[in-house]
Amino acid sequence: MMTKQEKVNFVINTLENLYPETPIPLDHKDPYTLLIAVLMSAQSTDARVNTITPLLFEKADNPYDMVKLTVDEIREIIKPVGLSPMKSKGIHGLSQILIDKHDGQVPANFKDLEALPAVGHKTASVVMSQAFNIPAFAVDTHIHRLMFRWGLSNGKSVEQTEKDAKRLFPEHTWNKLHLQIIYYGREYSPARGWNLENDIITKTIGRKTVLKEYDKKQKK
């Protein structure tokens, strides 16, 4: 039986071998365009967001130009990514706040980021880690699913998964590891169409109940 620490080391080493490089999946050129892209990615795919952000950023790639657009104009552009009424209000609103309170700059701290409209803890964590290289562990659906499958968290809530990830993995690994787990989840351990034979990490350290459940489904 592997200890929890051995499991953690196995995850880190396996992911480092598979994904030595971790390009950021959302196209951006600075903290502001990353913030807008992350906000747009809620309940959408990165690929879809990357097809729409160039159209938006062509018109406005900074808060000063963004507030010149109306909420309706923003909504019209970003409609394909879904939840456009809420996202367009958020984009316009946060751009105005950045101008009024932060000299048009994206703040590099959780308190100010999370105070912005439509910006939750996950979005703030992505911006902190990817725009400012400050250690954070943004938990998305892939990370939440895999931390449970691997027996490293109880799957009760994303908040609990984040706490467990931060407790188990060394801080200096967080920013890269968060992306590595997402890449791994997409490629080897998806929610649907999951093939355990390809999923070396879950096969090696997976929670017994998860493995049993998988076996049951295969036998049906």
Tell me if residue 215 is catalytic: no
Three-state DSSP at 180 gives: helix
Tell me if residue 111 is catalytic: no
Q: How far is CA 31 from CA 14, 24, 81, 175, 192, in A?
A: 30, 12, 20, 16, 33
Among the listed residues 7, 87, 140, 199, the single catalytic one is 140
CA pair distance 7, 46, nearest whole angstrom: 29
CA pair distance 77, 52, nearest whole angstrom: 7
User: The tokens 């355990």 sit on which residue?
Assistant: 196
CA pair distance 78, 102, nearest whole angstrom: 25
Q: How far is CA 68 from CA 34, 55, 77, in A?
A: 20, 16, 14
The whole-angstrom distance between residue 73's C-alpha and the CA centroid of its chain comes to 27
Q: Report residue 129 as tokens.
A: 């880690």
Among the listed residues 87, 122, 164, 199, the single catalytic one is 122
Residues known to be catalytic:
122, 140
